[in-house]
Amino acid sequence: MRIYVASKFENQDKVQEIYKKLRKNGYKIIYDWTKHEPIKPYKENPEKARDLSEKEVVAVKDADVFILLTTEKVDRGMHVEFGTAIISNLLTGKPRIFVLGEFNDRSTFYFHSTVNRVGTIEDVIEELRK
């Protein structure tokens, strides 16, 4: 099962911890954006920004599971990926979508019918085993 985890770029360490737990349970990370170098300001790196955005959209579309690790402050990029996951789910039935963390009630879209809101990565793993 291929999983995409989205969050703020600054949450790389937390996302890598999630990756470890997922891999330990036999899941594959479809795309690891945590290894990217910062490319802001984007207007100074348009080719890199285009390449990364295209790779990430394809990875979200091709994932079996999409996990959004919430943050107190909303970040644009992770929510573009989240919207991509919702549309892909509506059109194809995948990925299965989880909104993870203590801030999983901060957006109306977190309550969309395609979304499962959970508190911990262990909750996600438990749901995937069902």
Instruction: For residue 77, give the amino acid letter.
Output: G
Task: Please tell me the total count of domains within the chain.
Answer: 1
At 64, phi and psi to the nearest 5? -85, -30
At 115, phi and psi to the nearest 5? -105, 140
Q: Is the peptide bond prior to 38 cis by the omega test (within 30 degrees of 0)?
A: no
Residue 64: DSSP 8-state = S
The model's confidence at residue 51, banded by pLDDT at 50, 70 and 90, is very high
Residues of the domain holding 57: 2-129
Q: What is the CATH number of the domain that holds 63?
A: 3.40.50.450
The model's confidence at residue 22, banded by pLDDT at 50, 70 and 90, is very high
Q: What is the pLDDT of residues 53-77, one digit of tens each?
A: 999 999 999 999 999 999 998 788 9
* The two three-digit tokens of residue 83, written as one number: 């919207």
Rounded to two decimals, the pTM is 0.96
Q: What is the pLDDT of residues 82-113, one digit of tens each?
A: 999 999 999 999 999 999 999 999 999 999 99
* The two three-digit tokens of residue 59, written as one number: 């990875």
